[in-house]
Structure formats: C-alpha cells, structure tokens
Structure 1
Amino acid sequence: MEHLATLGYATAEDLEAHIRADQESPTPRINGHAGTERQVNGDLNRRDRFIKVLKVLIENHYIVAMRDAHFQSLFDARQDIERQYRGLGLMPTNKTKKSQLEMDEKVDFELEKRLDPTISAASIMHELVSNNPDGPNTNAAQGRTLLCVDYSNVVKSIRTERLSDAAERLLGREFASVTQAVCSQIELDSSLFKIRSQDNPMASKQRIDTSLLTADVSALSRAEEAEDGWLVDGYPANGYHTPRTNGTRNDPLISQRLAMLAEGPFHFISQEFSGSFLADRKQLSNYLRDQELLRLMGEQVDGPALRIIRMLANKGKLDEKSLQEVGLLSAKDLRQCLAQLQMKGFLELQEVPREAQRQPNRTIFLWFYDAERVRKVFLGHLFKTMARLYQRLQLERNRLSSTLSKIERTDVQGSEEEILPAGEFRLLSEWREREMWFTAELDRLDDSVAMLRDL
C-alpha cells in the first residue's frame, strides 16, 4: 500500500519490482561463494507472500483498477462516448425529449462501465503468473491492468472513528461499539466518479442487518476485553457474559441500543413499524459535515455566536427581533455576533423590501446560514493552510540539508548520536520535533478535508 500510494498507479509486476528492490539486501556468502540456492528460495518465498498479500488487498477493495477514463474529466469522457455513438450511427436523428432521455441513459450506462474501478483478484494473479521472468514483454505490458489505492477506505475509517467517539461521549462505550458496527455496514454516499444523483429519497437508505451487527459488536467487545486481559479461553471472565438461550441470533440489547441511537442525536438511524432499522447515508454525511463545521467555527468565534448559527440552521431565515426572542440575547450582543459572523463569511443577509422604493424602514433584513457556502469557505482555508505548512516544511528541510543528507547514509542511520557532533545532533533533534508537529498538523487538517469534501 505504501509503495502503491507513492507511485500513484502501477501494474502488479511493476509494484512487485519496486517492493523487491526496496527489500533487497546483500546476499550472504558461504566459503567465499554466494548462496544461489538460498537466494532462489528467498525470491520464491517473497513472490508467494507478495501474491497472497496483493490478493487479500484486492478482495477487500483496498486496491482497485485505474481505467483510461479516470484520466479524463467526466465531461470529456461523456463527449468521447457520444462521439463514438455518433460515428456508429446510434445517435437519434430526431431530438425529441423521449429519445434524448433514452440516449442519456445509454451514455450514462457506458460511462459507468468505463469508470468502474472494481477488479477481480484472479485476473491480476493470472497477469503475475504469465509474466515473463526473463524480461518484460512490451506487447503484453500494454494490456496490463493499472492498480491504484482506494482511498475511500480511509474516509470510511475516519467516519467510523468520528461517529464512535461522538456516541461514546454522549451515551457510553457500549453505544460506541454499536455505532462502529453500524458504520461498517454503511457504504459511502458519494463517489469520486459519481454520474448522476439519486432523485429517490429511499435510494440513500440502507437496511441494517441486525444479526451481522450482533456478531460485529461481539467481536469488537472481545477485542477490547482481550486488550484489558479479561478473556479466558476466548470468553470474557468478568461475569458480564450472559449467553442467549432462546436460540435467536439477534441480541435484544443491540436492538434497544439502536432504538436509543435513533431517538437521540443520530437521526440517520430510523426504526420501521416491523422493528427493523434503516440507515440514511445522506443524513449520516450531513450530520458529520455539520459537526465538523460547528467544530471549526467554534475555534474562530466565541460567545453566543455558535448558538446563533445553530438557531439559524434549525429555524432557517430569521430577523434580529426573532433572534433576540429565540436566543434570549440583548440587541448589543446580538449585533456584535452577527457582524463578526458576517465578516468571517459564516452568515449572509437577505433584504426583502415591502415596497418598490426599497426604503430601509420598509425592508425586512433576514439572516441565514448556508452550510454549503461555509463548507467551501473552510475548504479554501484548509487547503491554503496545508500549502503553507508544506512550504514551511520544505524551507526547514533546506536549512538542514547538509545534516539530513548525512543521516540518509546507511553507516550513519541508528548511530547519529555517536557520529554527529553535539551541536549538529541537537539541531537534528529539534528538527525531528518540528517535523513531527508539522506532520501531525497536516494529518489533522487532512481529516477535516475528508469530512468536508470526501463524504
């Protein structure tokens, strides 16, 4: 995964060559002669392990295929398909509304096929086995599948961590395990190559498998108890394990906790009359985005400003008098907060004149909160901050380029304190602390970008 993320995309044999070159070490010699038999056996073992690991990563969708259409914008890819259909004479001559809709469906279907990143592990294994060890075959290499990392798994892990932390903070550790198991069943509602939006509101809803949820929660609780040393022969020994004797696969406690989550702040979970539970992917993404926006805005504003934003997000557009009554605020404090929020771009003002002359005393001024606009504002700020951090990181590295070039040598690595002078080693220690701060800050900003952009 590390090599493939560094390369961006590569074929399976190119990826294997890079990993082998990175892991190569001097071959031990026996009586002055290289141990060729040991080297051959080691190469075979490394190749078998590489094939097994690659197969597991592909089957778990951590590695997907990079198609030719991925190197184009959606508009260019659609234009290519329409141009191809026009050359084959498949485009309708009479441009009626019905024929245009049918043609759009055909183009969307073909575009989804070209953008489909799914891949089978068997085809990649066949490409690796058929690879010529004597030298790369250029004709065959042209038909090789390009592999790339599926970063949606990273977004899913961040989403699961945020929701489980919120559930643990509000309701406790048991509810956090249930929330984590629910997130493992919910797919992302957005995609990098999304063709068309779903107009049906039920399309974003997904039924929760309670039996699978029970098994996932049990596995998570066992893993946590194993870390705390509470397992004996694979079962918890703390007296809290009560096996179900009614023959059902569903734990009633799981259903009770799901119902409490649905009644609480997690409105993306709903319960039907039949007792089954549904999860709305769109509401889940909106919940996480709103929480991240409120967190970022809370770092920049103080006082009742965040309360005003919550009121406007809940009520819609309000004037100053309504904000004073609902928020129990004085006119002075309210106007100061509104001016602060407007200067930062968090709130906007809409004028609704009662007359055509647009006199101020005959005009209603409504304040409103646009979450989509604020999200774009924060994304711009986050990208600028990350760019400045990368520039400062490169500047600091250039200042210590001589010292950093020394520690890259194999004879210096691991023995910096003995080889380097005291002053130079002190500068190196200070730089490593600053580098850790830079990388930690970049990781934190990258998590915010994932919440605001990739969900």
Structure 2
Amino acid sequence: MYITDIDRYERSFLQLVSSRYIAAVLAEHTRSKMDRYLAATEKETEKYTIMTSKDLQNIKNSVKSQMAAEEETKEVIGMKRKAVDPLEYQLEIDERIFFAVNFDKFNMLFRNESVVDFATERINRTAGEIVKAFFEYGKDKMFSLKENDSPSATPIHIANMVADTDIASRNDISLPKDPIEPNKKPSLQEIVRGYITLLRTDAAGFIKLKDERGANQYAVNFEKLRNTMKRRMLEGLIKERYGIATCRILRILIERGKLDETQVTKLAMLKANDAREKLALLKTKGYVEIQEVPRSADRAPSRCFHLWYVPLEKCYEELLVDCYKTVCNLQQRKTHELKIRKTFIEKINRKDVVENPELLSEEEQKEIANIDKILERIEVSKSRVDSVIMILRDF
C-alpha cells in the first residue's frame, strides 16, 4: 500500500489532535470567554420576569459550569473516527468544525520547562531531570494550567523514565551508606528516592506525597510552586531596584505577616531611620500597606497601632502591569530603530542587492550586523519578559 502526501498530512494532523497541540473549535469560540459568558448569562436571565440575587448567582454558576464542560469536551469535537490500523485509518471531520492552535498545551510545556529550570538552578541538574521525568510520565494526563499537582508516580516509575541517563554515575547526592557494605554504590532507585525526598523537603515545595493514591505516590506540587516562583520574581525585582536591605524587609513582612515598625527594625537588623526610610519607599511604590489597629473606641490616630504588611496579590498585579509596559516599550523601540533606518533597509531589500550582497560597502555590512544585534537584543528581552508574564498570569 502506497502512502501519499495526503495520507501523511492526515496522519500528522491526527497526531497533533491526539496530542492536543491543536483543538477543535466552533464558530462561537472566536469570541472571548468573557463575551460568551455575558451572552449566555443574558440569555438565561431573559427567562425570568422577577429575579432575586440568589437566582442571578445560580445562573452565573450554571453558565460557568456549562462553559467548563464545553472546554473539557472541545478536544473531541469533530473527530468522528480514530485510526484502527496504523496504515489504514479514516479521519472524518464535521464541516462545521474548525481547528486552532491549542495555546494551553504550549503554555503547559512552557510552565514545565520553567519548573525544571527552577529545580536545576535551586538544587542541581539531576534534580531538574527528576522533575522532568514526572512531567514526561504524566504528560498525557495534564489538561489544565490551573491543576494543583501533576499526575502521581512512584519512584520506580521515575527510575524507569531516567534509566537511559547518567544519573547513577554522577553520585552528586549524599545517601546513607549500607552498614554491611559501606563501599557499595547506591542503585538508581535509591538515588531517585533520595532526590524525591530532597525535592519534597525543599522549601520551594517541588514534590508532595499523595497518600490518597496509595503508598509511595508522589506528584509535582504546582499549588505551592506558583506562590514560590511568583514570590521569587517579586523579591528579585525589589533586590535589583532598591537593594538587598529593602528586599530583606519585604521578605520579613511576607514570612511574619503584619508587624509594627519596631519589630521590622529589630528583625531586619537595621537602624530605625533606615528601616523607616525603606518602609516609606515600599509604601510609595505600592509594595506594602499599613493596617491601623485602634487602642480605643474613638480610633484616634495617636492611639493606634500601625502594622505593616505585604498585599501579595496586589503586588503581583502591579508587577504584571509593569511587564506589559515593558513589552510595549520594547516594541516601540524596535519600531523606532527600524524607522530611523528605513532608507537603508529598503536598499538592502532591493532585488539586485539581495542577489549580489557584494554591492554593499564595508560600512554598510557593519551596519547590517549592528541592526541584527539590536533587534536580537530586543527580541531576547521580550522573550524574558514573556516568561515572567506567563508565570504571573498563566501559571
């Protein structure tokens, strides 16, 4: 049997659909989720002549549940038949169905890569490979970015996933030695168990134990990693902009909760004037706020405790807005760089110059290299900011 180009195309298409890299969509999916939510809510409210607040809340909850169910079943829309034999299959698609890139799937891949890089940076390369093995084992069972944990796996499953690597030969983790054979090298399973324990006890919370799934079941703890990675970015920003002492004050307030100025000064080991100045700076930038606790019923300012605290969610929102502004500024800079070189760009894009680059002088060749370097730096900066936006908004 001959396999034509159409067969190859259909097979590749089927693989992309089954891997959820593309998803089936209907015509109404071209609208945003909020527009579809508002339209569905308005349609349901028209059925009522008299409506109470409880009825309205029930309608909103029903519409949200219906939209969530549509998102879960959207992946199988339009797929009428699946392949039975690898060489003989038929893919029937409903004419009303369109297919689009499933951005959630790619965002999950980017999220997984960020977690692996975080584990590698915080512990070592082997720890990153162990976390990556968890993702490889459960890649077909992860459907949403908002999941609290990854599919569970045992150390034996992870050991089988990393069997082809050189983890066993690195010996970069201290394991308790066998009292009978102290010179015996640890096995691959023992190394994997040791790293899982290390990742589980780490303050970042990479791995969690899932007792409800059975004995020796572990999973990547997305719920804790979200807060850890967001807080890491916030602290890094404060440290870079305002110094390590200001970052230390912010970290103390996050860990200890609401504190007065004297407590902050004592814990941060700073002079009273320095601590007051840095708290005022953080307050001006919107990273900390003040909670008044009155001593008496008249709530006089002179008879109130003033407690400092960090509104984390507000800080993350402000940081996300700053990232959007940064991307806009980078794009404007790129447009400006191209605009001031418009005549030169038109020249190098001429047909005769494209066919024969030797028509350009040495100075023009250097200018082309300079343009490429500037554009590359702008795109790299945009890519880095995009990774921060993904963690703050989508993770």
Q: State TM-score, norm by structure 2.
A: 0.78
1:218 aligned onto 2:177: no
8 Å Cα contact 1:349-1:366 kept in structure 2 = yes
The match for 1:395 among 325, 336, 340 is 336
* Aligned residue number for residue 323 of structure 1: 264
1:57 aligned onto 2:57: no
Q: Deviations over 1:155-206 (max 9, x none)?
A: 3343333333332333322212112223443847646xxxxxxxxxxx8345
CA contact (8 A) 1:124 1:145 kept: no
1:169 and 2:114 are equivalent in the alignment: no
State the one-letter code of the partner of 1:271: L
Distance 1:163 1:408 in 2: 42
Output the CA distance in 1 between the equivalents of 2:130 and 2:267.
36
| 1:62 shift after superposition | 1.6
**Which residue matches 2:381?**
441
Over the matched positions of the two proteins, sequence identity in percent amounts to 22
Partner SS for 1:329: coil
Matched, 1:292 2:249: no
Distance 2:340 2:121 in 1: 44
- The aligned runs of 1:142-161 (5 Å cut-off) are 143-161=95-113
The one-letter code matched in structure 1 to 2:126 is: E
Distance in 2, matches of 1:129 and 1:158, equals 30
Give the partner amino acid of 2:363: G
Size of the aligned set, in residue pairs, is: 366
Q: Secondary structure at the match of 1:267?
A: coil
Superimposed CA distance per residue, residues 224-275 of structure 1 (whole angstroms, 9 cap, x where no aligned partner): 99xxxxxxxxxxxxxx99877xxxxxx2432221111111123252235643
Partners of 1:58 and 1:64 within 8 A in 2: yes
| Contact 1:188/1:281, CA 8 A, preserved across alignment | no
> CA distance change for structure 1 residues 72 and 172 in 2, over 3 Å: closer, same or farther?
same
Deviates further, 327-336 or 210-219: 210-219
Cα deviation for residue 282 of structure 1 reads 2.0
The one-letter code of the counterpart of 1:446 is D
Partner of 2:75: 118
The offset of 1:278, in angstroms, is 4.0
Number of the residue aligned with 2:25: 66
1:421 match: 361
Question: Which amino acid is the alignment partner of residue 218 of structure 1?
Answer: A
In the alignment, the residues of structure 2 paired with residue 79 and residue 388 of structure 1 have an alpha-carbon distance, to the nearest angstrom, of 33
1:95 and 1:381, CA in 2 relative to 1: closer, same or farther beyond 3 A?
closer
Q: Give the match's secondary structure for 1:218.
A: coil
What letter is aligned with 2:249? I
Bigger relative contact order, structure 1 or 2 (CA pairs below 8 A, ≥6 apart): 1
Q: 1 CA distance for matches of 2:23 and 2:51?
A: 40
Which residue identity is paired with 2:305?
I
Secondary structure of 2:386's partner?
helix
Q: Which runs of 5+ in 1 are unaligned?
A: 1-40, 132-139, 192-202, 226-239, 245-250
Distance in structure 2 (CA, Å) of the matches to 1:305 and 1:204: 32
Give the AA of the match of 2:111.
R
User: Pairwise CA RMSD of aligned residues?
Assistant: 3.8
Q: 1:446: Cα distance to partner? A: 0.8
Contact kept, 8 Å, 1:324 with 1:334, in 2: the verdict is yes
Instruction: Give yes or no for contact 1:317–1:368 (8 Å, CA) kept in 2.
Output: yes
Distance 2:241 2:340 in 1: 33
Letter in 2 for 1:256: G
Aligned residues of 2:204 and 2:224 also touching (Cα < 8 A): no
Question: Please, which moves more after superposition, 99-108 or 162-171?
Answer: 99-108
CA contact (8 A) 2:168 2:187 kept: no
Which of 292, 304, 312 pairs up with 2:253? 312
| One-letter identity of the residue aligned with 2:13 | L
Q: CA deviation at 1:436?
A: 0.7
Amino acid at match of 1:326: L
CA distance in 1, matches of 2:319, 2:276: 23
Counterpart AA for 1:427: E
User: Which residue matches 1:351?
Assistant: 292
The 2-side partners of 1:224 and 1:396 are apart by: 51
1:96-117 CA-to-partner distances (Å, cap 9, x unmatched) read 96x8787666534432344444
Letter in structure 2 aligned against 1:367:
W
Instruction: Return closer, same or farther for 1:351/1:183 CA change in 2, 3 Å cut-off.
Output: farther
* Residues 144/447 of structure 1: CA separation in 2 closer, same or farther (3 Å cut): same
Match of 2:199 among 252, 261, 281: 261
Q: Is the 8 A contact 1:349 1:367 kept in 2?
A: yes
Whole-Å separation in 1 of the counterparts to 2:364 and 2:9:
40
Q: Is the 8 A contact 1:354 1:364 kept in 2?
A: yes
Of residues 198, 208, 213, the one that matches 2:152 is 208
Separation in structure 2 between the aligned mates of residue 315 and residue 123 of structure 1, nearest angstrom: 57
Query: Residue type matched to 1:56 in 2?
Result: Q
Residue 202 of structure 2 aligns with an amino acid whose one-letter code is G
User: CA, structure 1 residues 429+82, in 2 after alignment: closer, same or farther (shift >3 Å)?
Assistant: closer
> How far is the alpha carbon of 1:434 from its aligned partner?
0.6
Asked whether the 8 Å contact 2:108–2:145 carries over to 1, the reply is no
Distance in 2 between residues matched to 1:75 and 1:175, nearest whole Å: 40
Cα shift readout 1:333-354 (whole Å, capped 9, x = no counterpart): 2112212222222111222222
Report the secondary structure of 1:424's partner residue.
helix
TM-score by length of 1: 0.68
Structure 2 residue identity aligned to 1:288? M
Partner of 2:311: 370
Is residue 313–residue 369 contact of structure 1 (8 Å, CA) maintained in 2?
Answer: yes
